[in-house]
Amino acid sequence: MSRKVHVQTQINRENVEFLCEPRQSMLEVLRNELDLTGAKEGCNNGNCGACTIIVEGRPVNSCCMLGVEAEGKEIQTIEGVATPEGLHPLQQKFLEHAALQCGICTPGFIMNAKVLLETNPNPTEEEVRFWLAGNLCRCTGYDKIIRAVLDTTETTGVSTNG
Amino acid sequence: MADGNGYKVVGTRPIRHDGVDKVTGRAKYGADLNFPDMLFGKILRSPHAHAKIVSIDVSRALAHPGVKDIVTSKDLPILSENILAEDKVFYKGHAIVGLAAVDVHTAEEALSLIDIEYEVLPAVTDVAKAIREDSVVLHQSLTTNTLGEKTGKPTNISSHVRHQNGDVEAGFAEADVVVERTFTTQTVHQGYIEPITATAKYNPDGELTVWTSTQGAFNVRQQVAGILDCPASKVRVVPLEIGGGFGGKTTVYVAPVAALLAMRTGQIVKVTMTRDEVFEGTGPAPATLIRLKMGATKDGRITAADTDLFYEGGAYPGSAVGAGANCMFAAYKIPNLMIDGFDVVVNKPSSHAYRAPGAPNSSFAAECVIDEICQKLDLDPLEFRMINGAKEGDRNPIGPRHGKIGYLETVEAAQTHDHYQVEVGNGKLRGRGVASGYWGNGAGRSSVNLTVNQDGTIMLLEGSTDIGGTRASIAMQAAEVLGIAAEDVRPAVVDTNSIGETGVTGGSRTTHATGLVAIRAAESVIEQMKEKLADHWEVNLNQVDFADGTFLNSDNQISFKEAARICSPVVGSVTESTTGAGGAFGTHVVDVEVDEDTGKVEVLRYTAVQDVGTAIHPSYAEGQIQGGAVQGIGWALSEEYVYDQKGQMVNASFLDYRMPTSYDTPMVDTVMVEVPNPGHPFGVRGVGEVPLVPPLAAIANAVSRAIGVRMTHLPMNPGSVLKALNKI
Amino acid sequence: MQAFDYVAAKSLSEAVNLLTKYRDQARILSGGTDLIVQVRENHRQVGMMVDIKGVPEVNTLSYNGSLEIGASVPCYKIYSNEAIKSNFPALVDATSIIGGVQIQSRASVGGNLCNASPAADSIPALIILGAQCVIDGPNGERSVAVEDFCDGPGQTALESNELLVKLVIPTPTPNASSFYLRFTPRNEMDIAVVGAGAAVELSADHQTFVSARIALGAVAPTPLFADDAGSLLAGKPVSDESIEEACEAAKDIATPISDMRGTATQRTHLVGVLTRRALNGAINRIKEGS
């Protein structure tokens, strides 16, 4: 065990501080230290996307990032996507399209798809499938997930900041 | 909206009740619990495929700072070899030692401080080798139970069953075309994204609490109580949300170890597998070797089928060869039949259920041979199925008569679908394949507790963990009976102390069995409310009616909500060992394109037809079909356990155990045929498992037709396709 | 995971000093998508993680006569860059298929190079584009041609007190373009079974090869510069025959092994297929003027 590091960061628009060992991944810190369990561990080696969070506006596998690397960064997790006003359009479309069955992959898909739509508000089916290839789903066969994302367009008011 | 079928709620698509929690990350899954002073458990697993354990020395690990306790099989009150190995290990990944430490990294460090001396033995990881006389034998005490008698000779073949009808020799003599092929499939995993996990707490008063993701909380209770030799009533299992199961989470792996460590340390202990542990330490679906010979007349009538099914049970007996035999020809009328099924142990993890266990393998063989017969006879494969297909009253060739079934309806729907009407396309190597499949579906015991609130909403307590939308489908069935909106039913999946015994969410039983019990509970509620209203209205009970969500007598008419205000609280509590499940069929159509330079198979178009009885929530029924079809794409084209010469799995990660991504699959069009099951008030048939039965053969038939070479070995990965094309 | 210390270096000299102090115990951390997993799975021992993401020199991305890519620049910045899309398309091809979008947010070409996997996607693209690796250490800066940078699987020309600072890629000539592709069993997320890149310069009428550079991945202990295969095209007509000749030469140069991702025979066959597709891809880009 090595000395813990004091990290100051911003998660879901709130200033957050935590202590962690350098060897603890961002995923571990979120789940074990901060009780933000929305990001899930599926593989711990960057191959399933269930741990996807948004770091400085980009989707990132939090299992492949150290907690100490969060210093000074802006981070968003699934817990920060809905607001007191309501669900994000992506979340609403996932529900309407039944784009989840067990739901374990859903937070990761929503985080990754959110950045896709902020980058490319009207993607084709192929662009959506390519972008989301880093997120594995075993329940849905992807069909309804792709439809939900395609149905969430700029016209439904997807927020483009954070 | 529901239309045509006369239902108000059944057949609609409400937002699922647990949906908001799941899209916001609020839902708690098995590994999401954190307690103060919680310990983290880890398990040391065998690095060898087959070995004697000579000695175990945990002293260095126990001395490591932060390690609280270490256990081996001798600490388990009841020996359970697959939970913690006794004196032999039978597969790489076989659990041997459990330990608990203050954090997960310390626990991992401690694993490397455990010293185990092994005597490594030769391993066998191939069923074709394991059945040979000269094979390494895993269990000296295992002899074959062959057709009811034990041979007494140590072997890897644990059992031999036979189904026989008519005279296959005569049947083949009658045939104009006979096809005989040998098929192999490799070990594949259910691939649930959430690893196995359990958290346990032991109270000094003797109550053990286990939080876990499971397909069956009562199963967990029974197994943990059995292994720890304590009364089941002292074990409370709290099922959290579950991240996929597909049959793989109907048994326990780490829960007994977590419980044992919790009992001994007095602290809460969480044990979660890593992904490679999931591959190597849990039960995958068996690899198989199948020889099949079938004959048919030139006008397309099947005359005989003769098959040997060899299924790998893994380290211990218990493959699903029986179910494989039962489902293989269920769709057809076959007068002369011989099925010999063999369960074989090999040095791999002990196999376990995976979505219609046994059936995908045997149907792969049957549906491919049928396709080859069709090619030889120049008959349309769907037309062939109309000729030979079973309907109500026909016998499954292994014996039982079908009740009301919808097989031919699925074939007709496939024939008339737009997909089957358009040309498969030209220019490159393209082919179209079709295949059918069957699963019997389950019933069994479920319990439901309904409480009517004053405002007319309903609390619905159930024991069926919700893997894919059953909270919604069960709530909808209760709502339909009560004449209220689905949103007015509040379903909750509760722990084993809070609800009557309930079977697993598996076997495609839940929408049928738990739905049936919810219907009965709702009917009980209505009867009780009628009684209370009879008092309230001062009329005889037989003058009070209920219809369409309204209670009425000759003078009064009130809605359910208004009645609730008068009558609540009303509680309807039912436990029943249900029967009446309806078997179901699917027929799939797949178009593929093969890159002849690389051997890569692209799935261009996929249509899955299935008889769902009645779709309670069509979106979630469709979802089951789509999910099963895509698992089938993975099984057919890219998934397999790869072993080295020493019998060790080399691809235990999502990088090299290749499950389809969103970029590998097309949309999956579903057609839900509805031939209602008379055994359920709304006609429900199980939907979850059928969809994995047809895809293997549908895709293999498509590839075979595309390249003009019969594919009989899975997976059809690019290397094997290049070989079939004679490019390498 | 083993315990290690971590420093976020703020300058190049601080990074070099840490490497000099800790030598084999230190490892440079950029995107971390390979390194963190390797340490977690006990394939690499690290005592000191030196995070260079805050060091300005490794984050530059500029095109001014030549292209300079800092060692820490993540893939997504590379494939979004207009100058790179226009002039160095093989780099876009490679960086957009490394591991998926989440990996590409963090993983860098410099890291992909220093990880030195024989199957790395960016390295054949760098080789065909003639990249130079600018290395810094306590004795100052030096430069190594990218085809000489990898010594073996996971091994590079870096001393343990040196780090890669940036890659410099010369401006392409007119009538030139490049193309990289790989073969994987799935359409994404896999390690290359075989990778192939080709950079081609044609005559003004697009009928003759002026020069060609071909590089292969996953068919040797390091990414391979198939020098002979590319150079035999110089002066030859743009035709299926010439291309086949280059493909056969590439197959002769490759020395693939059989492993769980593919057999040697399959890989050799794929070298021929992918070299043809890479060459044609580059040629089509030239003809389309892109």
Scanning A28-47 for CB atoms below 8 A from B yields: 28, 31-32, 35-45, 47
Helix/strand number for chain A, H first, E second: 5, 5
Q: What is the CATH number of the domain that holds C108?
A: 3.30.465.10
Which of A22, A49, A52 has the CB atom closest to C49's CB atom?
A: A22
Q: Do B656 and C261 touch (CB under 8 A)?
A: yes
Residues C213-234 have pLDDT tens digits of: 999 999 999 999 999 999 999 9
A162, part of any domain: no
Q: How many domains does chain B have?
A: 3
- Judge if A66 and A121 occupy the same domain: no
Judging contacts by C-beta atoms under 8 Å, the chain A residues touching residue C32 are: 64-66, 69
Is the residue at A76 inside a domain? Answer: yes
| Longest pairwise C-alpha distance within chain B | 88
Round to whole Å and give the CA distance between B92 and B223.
24
Residues C158 and C185 in one domain: no
Q: State the chains in contact with B (3 or more Cβ–Cβ pairs under 8 Å).
A: A, C
B569 & B586 share domain: no
Rounded to 5°, angle at Cα B330 from B328 and B335: 100
Range of the domain at C10: 5-51
**Stronger pLDDT, B289 or B425, i.e. the higher one:** B289
Q: Are residues B512 and B601 both part of a single domain?
A: no
One domain for residues B502 and B542 = yes
Task: Give the CATH number for residue C47.
Answer: 3.30.43.10
Phi and psi, residue B667, nearest 5°: -60, 150
Domain at B97, CATH number: 3.90.1170.50
Average pLDDT in chain B: 97
Q: Return the number of other C-beta atoms located less than 10 Å from residue B139's C-beta.
A: 16
For residue C276, what is the nearest residue in chain B, using CA coordinates?
A: B597
CATH number of the domain that residue A146 is part of? 1.10.150.120
Do residue C118 and residue C181 come from a single domain? no
B469 touches A at CB < 8 Å: yes
B chain contacts of residue A102, beta-carbon cutoff 8 Å: 192-194, 241-245, 467-468
What is the per-residue burial (b if ≥16 Cβ within 10 Å, else e) of C31-47?
bbbbbbbbbbeeebebe
Question: Tell me, what CATH number does A68's domain have?
Answer: 3.10.20.30
A47, A80, A113: which is the final residue of a domain?
Answer: A80
Least CB–CB distance from B627: residue in A36, A95, A140: A140
- Is A42 in Cβ contact with B193 (below 8 Å)? yes
Chain C CB contacts of B661 below 8 Å: 186-189
Low-confidence ranges of chain C (pLDDT < 50): none
DSSP character for B520?
Answer: H
Q: What's the structural domain count of chain C?
A: 3
- For residue A72, the chain C residue with the least C-alpha distance is C54
Say yes or no: B437 and B448 in one domain: no
Contacts of C8 in chain A (CB under 8 A): 68-69, 71
Residues A93 and A151 in one domain: yes
Q: Give me the DSSP letters along C197-256.
A: EEEEEE-TTSSBEEEEEEEEESSSSS-EE-HHHHHTTTT-BSSHHHHHHHHHHHHHH---
Q: What pLDDT is attached to residue B148? A: 86
Question: What is the pairing mode between strands C194-202 and C209-217?
Answer: antiparallel
Q: What are C92's two structure tokens? A: 């876009």
- A141 contacts B629? CB cut-off 8 A: yes
Do B656 and B705 belong to one domain?
yes
Do A24 and A67 lie in one domain? The reply is yes
Q: Do A91 and B24 touch (CB under 8 A)?
A: yes
| Statement to judge: residues C64 and C32 lie in one domain | no
Within a domain: A161:
no
Asked whether residue B242 falls in the same domain as residue B259, the answer is: yes
CATH number at residue B647: 3.30.365.10
Alpha-carbon torsion angle B612, B616, B617, B621, nearest 10: -20
Least confident stretch, B2-6, B176-180, B249-253: B2-6
**Segments forming the whole domain that contains residue A120:** 89-155
List the single best residue of C2, C187, C274 to mutate versus B (max B Cβ within 10 A): C187
Any domain includes B206: yes
B606 in any annotated domain: yes
Give B60-75 as a 3 state SS string. Answer: HHHHCCCEEEEECHHH
- Tokens, residue B227: 């292994």
Chain C residue numbers with beta carbons less than 8 Å from the beta carbon of A45 are 37, 40-41
Whether A70 is in a domain gets the answer yes
* CA gap C7, C16 in Å, rounded: 12
Q: Give mean pLDDT, residues B164-191.
A: 98
B104/B232 same-domain check: yes
From chain B, the residues in CB contact with A145 under 8 A are 662
Residue B150 within a domain: no
A50 and A115, same domain (yes or no): no
On whether the CB atoms of residues B288 and B314 are closer than 8 A, the answer is no
**Is C44 touching A (CB cutoff 8 A)?**
no
Residue B145 lies in a domain: no
Confidence of residue B1 (pLDDT cuts 50, 70, 90): very low
Rounded-to-integer distance, Cα C75 and Cα B326, Å: 53
Kindly give the pairing relationship between strand B143-146 and strand B157-165: parallel
Asked whether B254 and B262 are in contact (CB, 8 A), the reply is: no
- Structural domain for B103, as ranges: 33-121+196-272
CATH number at residue C193: 3.30.390.50
Give me the pLDDT at residue B613, please.
98
Residues C197 and C269 in one domain: yes
Q: Do C101 and A59 lie within an 8 Å CB cutoff? A: yes
B717 CA: distance to closest CA in chain C (Å) = 7
Assess whether B376 and B489 both reside in one domain. Answer: no
Q: Are B613 and B675 in contact (CB under 8 A)?
A: yes
Contact C183 B598 (CB under 8 A): yes
Summarised one tens digit per residue, pLDDT across range B657-696 is 999 999 999 999 999 999 999 999 999 999 999 999 999 9
Q: What pLDDT does B152 receive?
A: 86
Annotate B118-183 with three-state secondary structure. Answer: EEECCCCCCHHHHCCCCCCCCCCCCEEEECCEEEEEECCEEEEEEEEECCHHHHHHHCCEEEEEEE
Question: Closest to A45 (Cβ–Cβ): which among C37, C53, C105?
Answer: C37
Can you tell me the distance from the alpha carbon of B130 to that of B138, in angstroms, rounded to the nearest whole number?
A: 9
Indicate the residue of B23, B28, B662 with minimum beta-carbon distance to A100: B23
**Which 8-state DSSP code applies to residue A86?**
B
From B101, B698, B192, select the one nearest B437 (Cα to Cα): B698
- Specify whether B599 is located in the same domain as B684: yes
Do B709 and B661 sit in the same domain of this protein?
yes
Distance from CA of B572 to the nearest CA of C (A): 50
Confidence of residue B4 (pLDDT cuts 50, 70, 90): low
Same domain, A102 and A144: yes
Q: Closest partner residue to C189 among A2, A52, A134, by Cβ? A: A134
For the cut 70, the answer to whether the pLDDT of residue B2 exceeds it is no
Contact flag A134-C188 (C-beta cutoff 8 Å):
yes
pLDDT at res. C233: 98
Give me the amino acid identity at B429.
L
- Which residues from chain A sit within 8 angstroms of residue B249, using beta carbons? none
Please list every residue in chain B whose beta carbon sits closer than 8 Å to the beta carbon of residue C262: 719
Kindly state whether residues A69 and A98 are assigned to the same domain: no
- Among the candidates C170, C191, C218, a domain finishes at C170
In a 13 Å sphere around the CA of C73, the CA atoms on its Cβ side amount to 24
In the complex, which subunits touch C with 3 or more CB pairs below 8 angstroms? Answer: A, B
Name which of C184, C188, C189, C244 to mutate to probe chain B: the one with the most chain B Cβ atoms within 10 A of its Cβ. C189
| B264 and B292 within one domain | no
Q: Are residues C100 and C32 in the same domain?
A: no
Mean pLDDT, rounded, for B583-590: 98
Nearest to C114 by CA among C224, C171, C31: C31
Check whether B147 has a pLDDT greater than 80. yes
| Cis peptide upstream of residue B715 (ω within 30 degrees of 0) | yes
Do B254 and B353 sit in the same domain of this protein?
no
Looking at residue A158, its pLDDT comes to 47
Pick the last residue of a domain from B246, B272, B298.
Answer: B272
Question: How many C-beta atoms surround the C-beta of residue B553 within 10 A?
Answer: 17
Residue A1 has a pLDDT of 61
d(CA A46, CA A61): 6
Q: Angle, to 10 degrees, between the axis of helix B381-388 and the axis of helix B407-416?
A: 160
Which of residues A59, A80, A101 is at a domain's end? A80
Rounded to an integer, what distance in angstroms lies between the CA atom of residue A129 and that of residue B387?
40
CB B439 within 8 A of CB B461: no
Give the best residue of A142, A147, A149, A150 to mutate against chain B (max B CB count within 10 A).
Answer: A142
pLDDT > 70 fraction of chain B, expressed in percent and rounded: 99
Q: How many whole angstroms separate alpha carbon C45 and alpha carbon C1?
A: 10
The count of structural domains within chain A is 2
Last residue of a domain, one of A80, A103, A133: A80
Q: How far is A141 from chain B (nearest CA, A)?
A: 4
Q: Please tell me which of the candidates C32, C101, C189 has its beta carbon nearest to residue A112.
A: C101
Predicted pLDDT of residue B425: 86
Say whether both A60 and A95 belong to one domain. no
